[in-house]
Amino acid sequence: MEILIAIMIGFLYASGIYMMLRRSLVKLIIGIILLGNGANLLIFFLGRITKGAPPIIPGDAKVFTEAFADPVPQALILTAIVISFGLQSFAIVLVKRAHTVVRTDDLDEMNATDEDS
Amino acid sequence: MLTAILTGFLFSIFLVFAGRFFKGKLSLLASLIPLGLFIYFFQFIGPVSNGEVIMRSYQWIPSFGVDLGFKLDGLSLLFSLLISGIGFLVFFYTSSYLKGHQYLDRFYGYLASFMGAMLGLVLSDNMITLFVFWELTSITSFFLIGFNNTSGASRRSALTALGITGIGGLLLLAGALLLNNISGTYSISEMLSMSEAIGDHEHYLTVVLLIFGAAFTKSAQFPFHFWLPGAMKAPTPVSTYLHSATMVKAGVYLLMRFTPVLGGDNIWNTSLLVVGGITMLYSAVHTIFRTDLKGILAYSTISALGILVFLTGLGTREAFLAAAVFIIVHALYKATLFLVTGIIDHQTHTRDVTRLAGLNKVMLPVGIAGILAAISSAGIPPTIGFVGKELTYEASFHSETLMILLMVAIVLTKIFLLYAGFVAGIKPFIGKLPEEHAQVKSPDFVLWTPPLLLAILGLVFGVAPFIIDTPIIKPVVEAMGADASEIHLALWHGFNTVFILSLITIGIGTALYFIIKPSEKLEAAAGRFEFISPESLYERFNRIFIDVSNFWTDFFQNGYLRNYISIIILFLVVLVGYILIGSTNFVIDYHSLSRITVYEITATLILIAGIFYTVFTQSRLAAVVAMGVVGLAICLIFVFYSAPDLAMTQFSIDTLTVILFVLVLYKLPKYLKLSDYKTRLRDGILSAVFGLLVATLALQVIAEPVNKEIGEYYAQNAYLEAHGKNVVNVILVDFRGVDTLIEISVLSIAAVGVFGLMKLRLKMADRKRYQDSQK
Amino acid sequence: MRTTIILKTASNYLLPVLLLFSVFILLRGHYLPGGGFVGGLVAAIAFILHSFANGLKKTKELLMMHPGYLIPTGLAISFLSGLVPVALFDLPFMTGLWSHDPVAILGNIGSALFFDIGVYLVVVGVTLTIIFTISESA
């Protein structure tokens, strides 16, 4: 199964970078989102995967008695997911704004700083 | 003692708010600060001359062994007195010199900060503290040199000075770190006891070179001397204070301070003798080719610094004694000459020595000060200058090696310095007053008192040298690690070889003054060699540096996002791939992996299909939906592998992302096919290779053993310490609660950003409407 | 926006249920999957669903204030929950404080719970601000 997850990570990274290399603004955002998902999955994967043992102390116990999934990567990813939502919405709005001001979807036409160029 | 050091900084902060009160008549009050400090340090003369060393230590970064350790011994005291004493006179003088200047408050602020930094520098016992104050003096000096910030030349000189002394500061830091590595301490007093161990260490030479680098750049030794003449673009009080009396002596101070730690070695002594010797002779000769009073003084200052380095290099008790006396001598006469020059400039608006003469008739007190200083500089009795010169000759005379060569060098230097002193201190005042200066007004007493006071002090110390020998000079020599019990300064040393040399010096020097007249011709003659001077080499180096960085920036920072990404990815792939292929063998232990089930294959297929659809569809709506599917597939993975919290969050965020996209989708630009087939193929290959690299890397990492200590800790303590059973949540709200607090702050900023951008759009629309209506 | 009667009617009943559910997720977070982040997101989705069915204006009327105000409120609650141990017990910032006896339904109450409530409010505020701002001007 580890191989499958590694394949997924590879696909997510590859597609994310590919989309970011496009000149279209919307594709750029989609690329960032895919890449972010890939990074989340990578962190999750590197923390080692465990099946059927969530990091929740069962019932009346006070400490874990059996194996459990590592909670640290999970906590990291949880915040990352929420933050990435903030990032995405900001990026979308930025693209929208840029589009209305510059009137182009081509990133190559946006590399001048002067508005009147 | 910390308060004393901080006073200058506090005062300049105070000036930020109360600056305008200090621009007018109250500006004289500013000089009370250095005066207070001078009195404070003055009362230490008694204890220090009895051999006491006052130490103060305040905690700063104990874990790195860095504390605010201060030490007041003879050497520090001498410098502290110079800094606060001359500081007082300079502050006083400035209130008239820059009267009514628009930024007088700012000037006082810089000056006060500089004073604080300089005091900190000479009092620090900790090398890191020393470094911090060292850099602060460079920075404040930068602002002071560039004070006339509307002049391009000023700005350039300020940058050059900052560049050179800044590099020196970095060398000092490196030296400090290396010394700490060797001795295990940053405290200079503790290093004293380890001087032998440091001397035998394999990195001894490196340490010495680093300290030399710092000292030579700061004290303008050849070939780093050229920033100092440039620094004369600063207002005269600055030249007086920083570039003759105090800051430039910081390098000498550093060498003296480290003489007991690093000195005594052949390398140390010889290098100092050679560098100091070249510097003093080179710049003393150079004074002949200058016509600007300040230029002459700048070169003679460099020469004097060379003498100090030279004396430190001699390394004998006599030499240390001579150096200690010469510091006072030089501070007194050079500050006087600078202040006098400032007055001349202020009143006649010229510093060209060929156009100045006979000013005695219009400014007698200034003339007296100038002439006294020139006499002291020439080493003519009964001034302190004579005592200093005698000691210098005596020290060189008793050198064991190359005595003749050293004597010739020092005598020649003194001859030229005598010439320079006469030109700067005497020539403007005697002779016939030119027509153009006939109407020159006599200066304000606030201007002429400071130089006169300093000049008279030079005379008093000369007549009665016992005033300073035991209280001040003796502790300095002791601080440099030499026995000082037998020190008695005297004006008259008897009729001996040294005295004959003195007479020769005075004779030839005076003759030189009458033979050589400063002229533009001479200046032009020197200009011909300008192209090989270190200064022009430095400037050429700078130009090349800027050209190369321009080219480099244009090449890489070309403004195309995808080029940046491509370059970064390409480098990553090549470097990491190279190491991966070279060092690991791709062995995957299939037994250690968990079994593949149907669910997981399904999830993988959904994800891959979703990705392909997202990338290749021509419809934006389809792409967004496919992206949602990708998110849900990841959600499934989280469910399979024991992360219910993640699954829930991913699910909600996925929903929200799709909603967000759908909301703005029709306002977003349409997909365009902007790149041709070839580019897409190239990008495709690059990203595929990158994906492969990441996947391989991930599998390789998985094969390594893992350290789960942190996770275990949180898990075992979640209920016992934090009363929670969901460990992920406990980490978020309890163990790493501060991180979460910051995270939600970031989220809030994103929301504010979105809100702001949207509202801004409306305003832009308004502006457009307005512009349209104007057409 | 044209919506079906079914969605409109359903969303009116769904809103309170979903909100209740989100609070449930928030409160149980310390013991079982859930917590402020997820709870906040669920609550936000509940409001967004309502706005889709009934229009943004109705939802805003229901909320009675701009959701942006929830952000500083939440931040303040979280920050204060960390500050309480400093102010009252002279303990380091964000030291966990706990009641001795379990309270009905909630179990032990501690400063961490208030912190999580702050997170919940911030997440609701941020999400709604973003979505509302965008759909307003879209």
Residue A27 corresponds to which amino acid?
A: K
Residue whose pair of structure tokens reads 């430095």 in the numeric block: B538
pLDDT score of B131:
93
Pair of tokens at residue A94: 């930025």
Give per-residue pLDDT as tens, B697-741: 888 888 878 888 888 888 888 887 777 888 888 888 888 888 899
**Interval B649-671 mean pLDDT:** 83
pLDDT score of A108:
67
Instruction: Please check the confidence at residue B554 and state whether its pLDDT lies above 90.
Output: no
Neighbours of B490 (CB within 10 A): 11
The DSSP output letter for B55 is E
Instruction: Please check the confidence at residue B774 and state whether its pLDDT lies above 60.
Output: no
Q: How far is C120 from chain B (nearest CA, A)?
A: 10
φ, ψ dihedrals at B250, nearest 5°: -60, -40
Q: Out of A99-103, B305-309, B336-340, C88-92, which region has the weakest mean confidence (pLDDT)? A: A99-103
- Domain map of chain A by residue range? 2-50+70-110
Q: Which residue of B has its CA nearest to A7?
A: B695
Nearest to B235 by CA among B131, B342, B323: B342
pLDDT score of B773:
56
Q: Which residue of C has its CA nearest to B644?
A: C33
Residue B723 corresponds to which amino acid?
A: H
Give the number of C-alpha atoms closer than 13 A to the C-alpha of residue B287, restricted to the C-beta side. 34
pLDDT score of A114:
46
pLDDT score of A44:
92
**Interval B176-202 mean pLDDT:** 86
pLDDT score of A115:
46
Instruction: Please check the confidence at residue A71 and state whether its pLDDT lies above 70.
Output: yes
- State the distance between the two ends of chain A, measured CA to CA, in whole angstroms: 54
A contact chains, 3+ CB pairs < 8 A: B, C
Residue partners of C93: CB distance under 8 A and separation at least 6: B738, C82, C83, C85, C86
Give per-residue pLDDT as tens, B354-384: 888 888 888 888 888 888 898 888 888 888 8
Distance, in Å, from the CA atom of B650 to the CA atom of B644, rounded to the nearest integer, reads 10
Say whether residue C62 is in contact with chain A using an 8 A CB cutoff: no
Q: Residues C67-84, buried b or exposed e (16+ Cβ, 10 A)? A: bbebbeebbebbbebbeb
pLDDT score of B703:
80
The DSSP output letter for A62 is S
pLDDT score of B477:
84
Of C74, C112, C134, the CB nearest to B724: C112
Residue whose pair of structure tokens reads 């050059």 in the numeric block: B160
Q: How far is B543 from chain A (nearest CA, A)?
A: 27
10 Å CB burial of residue B503 (0-12, 13-18, 19+) is exposed
Q: Out of A106-110, B255-259, B387-391, B724-728, which region has the weakest mean confidence (pLDDT)? A: A106-110
**Interval B448-464 mean pLDDT:** 88
Q: Which phi-psi region, left, alpha or beta, contains residue B247 (left: φ > 0; alpha: ψ -120 to 50)? A: alpha
Q: Could you tell me the residue range of the domain that residue C33 belongs to?
A: 5-137
**Interval B338-364 mean pLDDT:** 85
Distance, in Å, from the CA atom of B463 to the CA atom of B406, rounded to the nearest integer, reads 29
pLDDT score of C122:
93
Nearest to B114 by CA among B90, B78, B96: B90
pLDDT score of B587:
63
Domains contained in chain C, number: 1
Give per-residue pLDDT as tens, C85-130: 887 777 777 777 776 666 655 666 778 888 889 999 999 999 999 9
Assigned architecture for domain A2-50+70-110? Orthogonal Bundle (1.10)
Tell me which of A89, A97, A99 to substitute to probe the interface with C (most C C-beta atoms closer than 10 Å).
A89
pLDDT band at B182 (very low <50, low <70, confident <90, very high): confident
Say whether residue A55 is in contact with chain C using an 8 A CB cutoff: no
Partners of B59 in the beta sheet? B67
pLDDT band at B651 (very low <50, low <70, confident <90, very high): very high
Query: HEC string of B674-695?
Result: CCCHHHHHHHHHHHHHHHHHHH
pLDDT score of B56:
84
Q: Are B724 and C112 in contact (CB under 8 A)?
A: yes
Q: Which residue of A has its CA nearest to C126?
A: A86
* DSSP secondary structure of B312-352: HHH-SHHHHHHHHHHHHHHHHHHHHHHHHHHHHHHHHS--B
What torsion do the CA atoms of B327, B333, B338, B343 make, to the nearest 10 degrees?
150
CB contact under 8 A, B687 and A22: no
Distance, in Å, from the CA atom of B144 to the CA atom of C68, rounded to the nearest integer, reads 49
Triad B402, B406, B408: Cα angle to 5°? 120
pLDDT band at B408 (very low <50, low <70, confident <90, very high): confident
Give per-residue pLDDT as tens, B468-519: 877 888 888 888 877 777 777 777 777 778 888 888 888 888 888 888 777 7
Tell me which of A81, A82, A90 to substitute to probe the interface with C (most C C-beta atoms closer than 10 Å).
A82
Give per-residue pLDDT as tens, B85-100: 999 999 889 888 888 7
Q: How far is A114 from chain B (nearest CA, A)?
A: 13
pLDDT score of C3:
63
Beta strands in B214-256 (DSSP E): none
Distance, in Å, from the CA atom of B349 to the CA atom of B58, rounded to the nearest integer, reads 49
* DSSP secondary structure of C74-130: HHHHHHHHHHHHHHHH-PPTT---B-SSPBTTTBS-BHHHHHHHHHHHHHHHHHHHH
Say whether residue A56 is in contact with chain C using an 8 A CB cutoff: yes
- What percent of chain B clears pLDDT 70, i.e. is strictly above it? 93
Instruction: Please check the confidence at residue A77 and state whether its pLDDT lies above 90.
Output: yes
Average pLDDT, chain C: 84
Distance, in Å, from the CA atom of B754 to the CA atom of C129, rounded to the nearest integer, reads 8
Residue partners of A107: CB distance under 8 A and separation at least 6: A23, A24, A25, A28, B560, B561, B562
The DSSP output letter for B530 is G
**Interval B290-312 mean pLDDT:** 89
Distance, in Å, from the CA atom of B603 to the CA atom of B614, rounded to the nearest integer, reads 16
Q: How far is A109 from chain B (nearest CA, A)?
A: 9
